[in-house]
Amino acid sequence: MLLVSLLATGCGVAIKYSLSGASIPPNAKTFSVAYFPNNATMVSPILSSTLTEALVDIFSRRTRLQQVDEGGDFAFEGEIVGYTSTTASVSSNDYALLNRLTIRIKVRFKNAIDDKASWNKTFTAYEDYDSTKLLTEVEGELIPQIVDKLVTDIFQASASNW
């Protein structure tokens, strides 16, 4: 592996290699994440800040990119467009057994290094919870779990060549 790396470097080939699964161009140095407002019909007071902070955190931990306030080489902005609780499973007596909290977000990713890699996408994730509990009782636990799925999907879509 070292020999291949040295030979490729000597030939002027830029190698993108990472143990985190990220494939970021070597000349990308920064990232920025704008605050994600909650524009959903139903709103959780912790969701916007939890999502924004988690997106900053995953790029800080899993890449060499430095965070800037705006205009990063990798720039993210978007909004929360869906926050819903629905019945996920019904018993034979037509009683709800499980409810499902679903969060949907629209993300705009601008890759300043390679504009062809920029995109606009919608991401959705959910968690089920016991129907005997109120959403207000479980959302403090469910939101971080759902947000973790969302930011992992965003990270893979923007920093991995799949």
* The pLDDT value given to residue 92: 77
For residues 33 and 4, the model is more confident at: 33
- In terms of pTM, does the model score above 0.85? no
Tokens of 114: 């390679």
* The pLDDT value given to residue 5: 46
In a domain, residue 6? The reply is no
The structural domain count of the chain equals 1
Residue 12 has pLDDT above 60, yes or no: no
Q: For 52-109, give the DSSP string.
A: HHHHHHHHHHHSSPEE-SS--SEEEEEEEEEEEEEEEEE-TTS-EEEEEEEEEEEEEE
Residue 126 has pLDDT above 70, yes or no: yes
In a domain, residue 1? The reply is no
Residue 4 has pLDDT above 60, yes or no: no
How much is the average pLDDT of 6-23? 48
Q: Using alpha carbons only, how large is the chain's radius of gyration in Å?
A: 19
* The pLDDT value given to residue 22: 66
* The pLDDT value given to residue 109: 98
Give the residue from 131, 126, 116 showing the smallest Cα distance to 153: 126
In a domain, residue 90? The reply is yes
In a domain, residue 9? The reply is no
* The pLDDT value given to residue 96: 73
In a domain, residue 31? The reply is yes
On average, the pLDDT of the chain sits at 88
Domain that holds residue 146: 24-159
In a domain, residue 5? The reply is no
How much is the average pLDDT of 39-46? 94
* The pLDDT value given to residue 150: 99
In a domain, residue 17? The reply is no
CATH of the domain at 79: 3.30.160.150
In a domain, residue 136? The reply is yes
